[in-house]
């Protein structure tokens, strides 16, 4: 029983992995302490909540997740979603707000765990790459601009609409606290420099140390520089999230959004690292691991967590071999909570804002939009619509609009699938689209017609119209060979509609034959009684076999087509 619960890496731990795990655990802890505090601030929570969220959830995921290197904890995207959703129900920073954030973590955990137990990991596939990239890029801009108030040291009321936020910031630019602004800009420059010149060094830690020292030695708090202040000492106490029906209903939309978005962000980086290390990621096990991490965290004053891109990359590059690295990280943060919270008293909020702004800058990806437009314009428009919707409405509405639009694009594509009249290319002994291969020859009285999609109620009219157009352009047609090699499925409506089409052509003297029908489709038409009605006309394994039947059983030869081909 224990073997089923505990991860393989723990049951069969290789001592040679210990050095790498220790190194990675220490480095990620150094990175996560300032990041966790910054992201908690972004979520509208006290900075210490970010440290709480970097303890118990990490240990639970390490024991239950399928990734050996994924670094779970607070992330910018989820933090913004928490702020967006919970701020509609309570004032950020208040006790009620904190209670709702903990309840949100529990809800997200329950949803993720339920999806994992029900093996619903496939549902995340409905979030297309274009939607996720656009949403991430827009959210990164929103996150970055939301830190303007901390960077400038001024109070900004418009936090939900970026355009109103920029307008307000412009009108209040004269109120900027130059000391706050100076610390913020210096922190950004230092973070960028360290990341570019010495990527293995913990830039955020340097920013925290130097910023705190500057405030302390130059009495910048007296000059209006906002600081973190007292950070409660000690490990988080066990607490029960407050259950209220109105709160559950109010948090439901954002909980579902975080469930999907958080999982997408987590599984994307987990799969990328797993591919390099040659092991598999189990999507449903990931859901269960993240779900239990959030459920457990909610009882220890943690807000929703997921796997982060940057920290996971650092964890992997620093030598992490197993989940022990994350457990070491959590233990080091617990030690910090017990003994070293006093060190954060003079930490300027503008330094934390700088950490957030630099971290999310890398999430903005306009190159992907250009690539999508180049490859497939519909995907490019999906990107643009999702991006604009996220910027101009709300985070939840933005991703919902993107998903709905991407599904509409999918439905449109399936309703208007690719079809082609085929001709014979003698040199290669193949049949190809005559519009793409002008040298392909067609039969004088036979149309070979291919459809490259499953047939269902929404695309049958399109299929019928295209086929009728081909017949109208070839008035001498006596036979139609339907190439079904690209048809993977049919519904009952499509089967009935196709039968009517075949009967209409049969009544007008045109014989319809079907070639290359796949097994699952053949099973369906057998249930519809087609074998008794049409016999061998629907059983041809290939176009060649169908054409051979026209030559009275002659064996297939390329030259046998010569008398009936038109060049």
Mind spelling out the 3-state secondary structure of 241-299? CCCCHHHHHHHHHHHHHHHHHHHHHHHHHHHHHHHHHCCCCCHHHHHHHHHHHHHHHHC
Distances (CA, A) of 293 to 22, 33, 194: 22, 18, 32
* Same domain? 293 vs 357: yes
Q: Check residue 305 and report its DSSP letter.
A: -
**Is-contact 114 290, C-beta < 8 A?**
no
Reported as a single tens digit per residue, the pLDDT across 358-383 is: 888 877 888 888 999 999 899 999 99
Task: State the pLDDT confidence band at 316, using cuts at 50, 70 and 90.
Answer: confident
* Same domain? 188 vs 302: yes
Residue 158 belongs to a domain: no
Q: How far apart are CA 485 and CA 451, in angstroms?
A: 8
* Same domain? 21 vs 123: yes
pLDDT at 3: 62
Give the 3-state secondary structure of residue 393.
coil
pLDDT at 505: 93
**Is-contact 540 516, C-beta < 8 A?**
yes
Task: State the pLDDT confidence band at 562, using cuts at 50, 70 and 90.
Answer: very low
Cα 364 versus chain centre, distance: 14
Residue range 154-168: average pLDDT? Answer: 82
pLDDT at 5: 66
Residue 513 belongs to a domain: yes
Q: Per-residue pLDDT for 236 more than 90?
A: no
Percentage of the chain surpassing pLDDT 90?
Answer: 56
Reported as a single tens digit per residue, the pLDDT across 486-545 is: 999 999 999 999 999 999 999 999 999 999 999 999 999 999 999 888 888 888 999 989
* Same domain? 452 vs 331: no
Residue 152 belongs to a domain: no
Residue range 415-440: average pLDDT? Answer: 91
Give the contacts of 513 (CB within 8 A, at least 6 positions apart). 479, 480, 481, 482, 537, 538, 540, 546, 549
* Same domain? 482 vs 551: yes
Give the 3-state secondary structure of residue 348.
strand
φ, ψ at 447 (rounded to 5°): -100, 125
Task: State the pLDDT confidence band at 2, using cuts at 50, 70 and 90.
Answer: low
Residue 8 belongs to a domain: no
Sign of CA dihedral 282, 288, 294, 297: negative
Pairing status of strand 442-443 against strand 306-307: unpaired
Give the 3-state secondary structure of residue 529.
coil
Beta bridge partners of 439: none
Count of alpha carbons within 13 angstroms of residue 211, beta-carbon side:
37
* Same domain? 193 vs 342: yes
* Same domain? 444 vs 510: yes
* Same domain? 201 vs 298: yes
Query: Pick from 259, 264, 353: which is nearest to 40 by CA?
Result: 353
Torsion of CA 542, 544, 550, 553, to 10 degrees: -100
Task: State the pLDDT confidence band at 337, using cuts at 50, 70 and 90.
Answer: very high
Token digits for 29? 């802890």
Residue range 292-317: average pLDDT? Answer: 90
- CATH number of domain containing 428: 3.30.750.24
Q: How far apart are CA 398 and CA 451, in angstroms?
A: 35
Q: For 422-490, give the DSSP string.
A: EEEETTTTEEEETTT-TT-BEESSEEEEEE-S-B-TTTHHHHHHHHHHHHHH-TT--EEEEE-TT---B
Q: Containing domain of residue 533, as a range?
A: 417-566
Reported as a single tens digit per residue, the pLDDT across 257-285 is: 999 888 888 887 888 788 888 888 888 99
Helix 203-217 and helix 18-42: axis angle, to 10°?
50
Residue 215 belongs to a domain: yes
pLDDT at 443: 84
In the predicted model, what is the mean pLDDT of the chain? 88
pLDDT at 202: 79
Residue 144 belongs to a domain: no
**Is-contact 227 345, C-beta < 8 A?**
yes
pLDDT at 558: 40
Q: How many CB atoms lie within 10 A of CB 61?
A: 33
* Same domain? 345 vs 465: no
pLDDT at 553: 39
Q: Per-residue pLDDT for 560 more than 70?
A: no
Choose one of 343, 362, 381: the last residue of a domain. Answer: 362
Q: How far apart are CA 528 and CA 541, in angstroms?
A: 20
* Same domain? 226 vs 311: yes
* Same domain? 356 vs 422: no
Residue 237 belongs to a domain: no
Residue 439 belongs to a domain: yes
pLDDT at 315: 86
φ, ψ at 114 (rounded to 5°): -60, -45
> Which of 148-157, 216-225, 446-455, 549-558 is predicted with the least confidence, judged by mean pLDDT?
549-558
* Domain count for the chain: 2
Give the contacts of 437 (CB within 8 A, at least 6 positions apart). 423, 425
């Amino acid at each position: 029983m224990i073997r089923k619960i505990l991860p393989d890496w723990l049951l069969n731990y290789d001592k040679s992995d210990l050095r790498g795990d220790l190194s990675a655990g220490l480095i990620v802890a150094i990175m996560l302490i300032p990041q966790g505090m910054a992201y908690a601030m972004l979520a509208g929570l006290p900075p210490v909540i970010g440290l709480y969220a970097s303890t118990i959830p990490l240990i639970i995921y390490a024991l239950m997740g399928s990734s050996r290197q994924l670094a779970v904890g607070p992330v910018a995207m989820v933090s913004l979603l928490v702020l967006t959703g919970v701020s509609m129900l309570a004032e950020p920073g208040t006790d009620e707000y904190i209670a709702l954030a903990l309840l949100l973590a529990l809800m997200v955990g329950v949803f993720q765990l339920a999806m994992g137990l029900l093996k619903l990991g496939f549902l995340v596939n409905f979030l297309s790459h274009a939607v996720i990239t656009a949403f991430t890029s827009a959210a990164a801009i929103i996150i970055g601009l939301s830190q303007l108030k901390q960077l400038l040291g001024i109070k900004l009321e418009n936090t939900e609409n970026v355009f109103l936020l920029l307008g307000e910031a412009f009108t209040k630019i004269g109120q900027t606290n130059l000391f706050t602004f100076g610390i913020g800009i210096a922190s950004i420059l230092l973070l960028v420099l360290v990341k570019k010149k010495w990527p293995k060094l913990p830039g955020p830690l340097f920013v925290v140390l130097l910023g705190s020292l500057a405030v302390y030695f130059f009495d910048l708090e007296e000059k209006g520089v906002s600081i973190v202040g007292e950070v409660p000492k000690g490990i988080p106490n066990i607490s029960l999230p407050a259950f209220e029906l109105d709160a559950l209903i109010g948090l439901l939309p954002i909980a579902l959004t975080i469930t999907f978005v958080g999982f997408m962000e987590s599984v994307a980086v987990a799969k990328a690292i797993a591919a390099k290390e040659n092991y598999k990621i189990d999507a449903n096990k990931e859901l269960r691991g993240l779900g239990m991490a959030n459920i457990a965290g909610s009882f220890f004053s943690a807000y929703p967590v997921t796997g982060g891109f940057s920290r996971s990359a650092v964890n992997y590059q620093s030598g992490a071999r197993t989940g022990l690295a994350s457990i070491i990280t959590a233990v080091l943060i617990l030690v910090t909570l017990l003994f070293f919270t006093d060190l954060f008293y003079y930490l300027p909020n503008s330094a934390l804002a700088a950490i957030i702004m630099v971290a999310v800058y890398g999430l903005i990806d306009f190159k992907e939009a250009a690539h999508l437009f180049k490859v497939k314009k519909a995907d490019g428009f999906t990107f643009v619509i999702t991006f604009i919707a996220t910027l101009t409405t709300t985070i939840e509405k933005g991703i919902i609009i993107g998903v709905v639009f991407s599904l509409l694009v999918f439905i449109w594509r399936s309703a208007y699938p690719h079809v082609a009249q085929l001709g014979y290319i003698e040199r290669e002994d193949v049949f190809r689209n005559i519009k793409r291969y002008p040298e392909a020859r067609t039969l004088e009285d036979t149309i070979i017609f291919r459809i490259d999609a499953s047939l269902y109620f929404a695309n049958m009219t399109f299929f019928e119209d295209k086929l009728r157009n081909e017949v109208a352009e070839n008035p001498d047609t006596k036979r139609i060979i339907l190439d079904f090699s690209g048809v993977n499925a049919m519904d009952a409506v499509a089967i009935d509609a196709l039968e009517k089409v075949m009967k209409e052509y049969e009544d007008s003297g045109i014989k319809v034959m079907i070639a290359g029908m796949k097994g699952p489709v053949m099973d369906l038409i057998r249930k519809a009684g087609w074998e008794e009605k049409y016999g061998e006309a629907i059983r041809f394994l290939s176009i060649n076999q169908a054409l051979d039947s026209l030559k009275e059983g002659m064996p297939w030869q390329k030259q046998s087509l010569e008398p009936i081909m038109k060049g």
